[in-house]
Structure 1
């Protein structure tokens, strides 16, 4: 994959990540607060699952 595709992918991630705080700032803040109170082990599992799903999607495309 060349550099332009990675830049486009990064831009898409930033757009998706920005939608929550832009459209629902109070709800987004509540979700972040709840996540911050979760045990580290649970956050690691969720993060690992997200990374795995992302890698599978990248592999498919």
Structure 2
């Protein structure tokens, strides 16, 4: 279980690092747009993405 969590964390770091390495200007623009986005919209988006993540883990591990 801990190994799976660490593997998932490593994959997130890899994907995020790759995005910053390949598209630094796009990531800067995205950060600026996030600052302009209302908090409730970010909260809902985060919740939806979290639920999808749990669903995909359940689907793949089940």
TM-score range (shorter-chain normalised) is 0.7 to 0.9
Cα RMSD (Å) of the superposition?
1.0
> Which 4+ runs in 1 deviate beyond 4 A?
none
1:19 Cα deviation (Å)? 1.4
Structure 1: unaligned runs, 5 residues or longer: none
1:4 Cα deviation (Å)? 2.0
- 1:22-41 correspondence to structure 2 within 5 Å: 22-41=21-40
Q: Does 1:12 align with 2:28?
A: no
TM-score, normalised on structure 1?
Answer: 0.88
SS state at 2:37 partner: coil
SS state at 1:60 partner: helix
TM-score, normalised on structure 2?
Answer: 0.86
Q: Does 1:55 align with 2:58?
A: no
**What do the CA deviations read for 1:12-43 (whole angstroms, capped 9, x no partner)?**
11101111111010111001110111101110
